[in-house]
Amino acid sequence: MKLDGVELRWVEMPLRSPFRTSFGTQTVRQLLLLRAVADEGEGWGECVAMSEPVYSSEYQEGCADVLRRYLVPALTGEVDGISVVPRLKKYYGHRMAKAALEMAVLDAELRARGVSFGRELGATRDRVPCGVSVGIMNSIPELLDAVGGYLGEGYVRIKLKIEPGWDVEPVRAVRERFGDEVLLQVDANTAYALADARHLARLDPFDLLLIEQPLDEEELLAHAELAKVVQTPICLDESITSASSAADAIRLGACQIVNIKPGRVGGYLEARRIHDVCAANNIAAWCGGMLETGIGRAANVALAALPGCTLPGDTSASDRYYKLDVTEPFVLDDGHLTVPAGPGLGVTPLPEALEEVTVKTEWIPLA
Ligand SMILES: [Mg+2]
């Protein structure tokens, strides 16, 4: 396959309600969509970088810049999905930008071959159980309303975002209101220090599935130390940047569970390698989310259908975040989403919906 070029598309998706985490509040999801145009057809990619470098070092304009300046121009001549990231090896970092480009090329290739993302990645299920991520709220009653609403919609697992000052009490309140049967976990997005170990151990009585990324992403040994004090299983997210870092974290005892984020680890093929490392080590894995549109969501649902993704992911329905998705919406069916079976991502952006959220586009031609 030969690329003619790649179109970058800046979109702004208004969120149905503000989403607050320990690193900030989002009201609009700004992201970059990529459309790879090749001699054999088109493919779509989605870059998960936020508009500011507050979750990771990458950000939307930085990704656009590295894509136009270095990454897209490197893909001259014959290219296919599996060759994209190796060909970009000389350019350090920028995993989110690389992931988006790999995804667009892979989608174009798979559409041309008539193979779905799920089939290519090795999915073994045609539907996946879905969890939902619940942001930090202004009050406990507001949180209980939100959690009650999601449980009513059928979500099979609840994840509460936590930070110092919003941890033990919200968890206690949710357990007291909704009972011990609810699958419940928390995500700190690096908001704590090892010195908080005894405080975090106060979450142990609530029988949580896991506590996600309590400490800074570079503090693998500190997570291993924390695991000696806290009984709740530790899950790493931000710390897992590759299959190699996942293998190290597991060997060090820094995590018992891994959250795989394809858009953050350099693509779906690296995400599958992380899945394989986890499976080989009997470490449970699940697919996280970055407030993707239906484009990224389609691929995430395919990854979540791999056999080693044994816990419900953050692969929520489209209406968890957006009134209007850019593809046909993903709709919850008895707490599950169907894995798209069509070629490539199995979904295609709807021109009108896409137009409505597009801020600007840019065409990067390949010589
Ligand atoms: Mg997380």
Dihedral through CA 344, CA 347, CA 350, CA 355, nearest 10? -60
pLDDT at 367: 77
E strand spans, 39-126: 41-47
Are 193 and 226 in contact by the 8 Å Cβ rule? The answer is no
The domain made up of 119-338 has a fold known as TIM Barrel (3.20.20)
- Could you tell me which residues come within 8 angstroms of residue 322 by beta carbon, excluding any fewer than 6 positions away? 13, 14, 15, 16, 29, 293
Catalytic residue check, 261: yes
Domain boundaries 3-114+347-365, corresponding CATH code: 3.30.390.10
If you measure from the C-alpha of residue 52 to the centroid of ligand 1, how many angstroms do you get, rounded to a whole number?
17
DSSP string, 118-179: HHHHT---SEEEBEEEE---SSHHHHHHHHHHHHHHT-SEEEEE-BTTBSHHHHHHHHHHH-
- Could you tell me which residues come within 8 angstroms of residue 40 by beta carbon, excluding any fewer than 6 positions away? 1, 108, 109, 112
If you measure from the C-alpha of residue 243 to the centroid of ligand 1, how many angstroms do you get, rounded to a whole number?
17
If you measure from the C-alpha of residue 69 to the centroid of ligand 1, how many angstroms do you get, rounded to a whole number?
30
Are 126 and 99 in contact by the 8 Å Cβ rule? The answer is no
Return the closest-CA partner of residue 255 out of 286, 288, 292, 283.
283
If you measure from the C-alpha of residue 350 to the centroid of ligand 1, how many angstroms do you get, rounded to a whole number?
29
pLDDT at 22: 87
If you measure from the C-alpha of residue 238 to the centroid of ligand 1, how many angstroms do you get, rounded to a whole number?
7
Q: For the chain, what are the domain ranges?
A: 3-114+347-365, 119-338
pTM recorded for the entire structure: 0.96
Please give the Cα distance from 274 to 262 (Å, whole number). Answer: 9
Main-chain phi, psi angles of 89, to 5 degrees:
-60, -35
If you measure from the C-alpha of residue 166 to the centroid of ligand 1, how many angstroms do you get, rounded to a whole number?
16
If you measure from the C-alpha of residue 42 to the centroid of ligand 1, how many angstroms do you get, rounded to a whole number?
31
Q: Which amino acid is at 111?
A: R
Identify the active-site residue in 89, 261, 323, 360. 261
Counting every residue, how long is the chain?
Answer: 367
Catalytic residue check, 161: yes
Partnered with residue 198 across adjacent β-strands are: none
Identify the active-site residue in 89, 159, 161, 323. 161
Q: Which residues surround ligand 1, an ion (CB under 5 A)?
A: 187, 212, 237
pLDDT at 357: 97
Q: What string of pLDDT tens digits covers the 367 residues of the chain?
A: 999 999 999 999 999 999 999 888 999 999 999 999 999 999 999 999 999 999 999 999 999 999 999 999 999 999 999 999 999 999 999 999 999 999 999 999 999 999 999 999 999 999 999 999 999 999 999 999 999 999 999 999 999 999 999 999 999 999 999 999 999 999 999 999 999 999 999 999 999 999 999 999 999 999 999 999 999 999 999 999 999 999 999 999 999 999 999 999 999 999 999 999 999 999 999 999 999 999 999 999 999 999 999 999 999 999 999 999 999 999 999 999 999 999 999 999 999 999 999 999 999 999 7
Partnered with residue 116 across adjacent β-strands are: 344
Please give the Cα distance from 348 to 102 (Å, whole number). Answer: 17
* CA terminus-to-terminus distance, the chain: 14
pLDDT at 23: 86
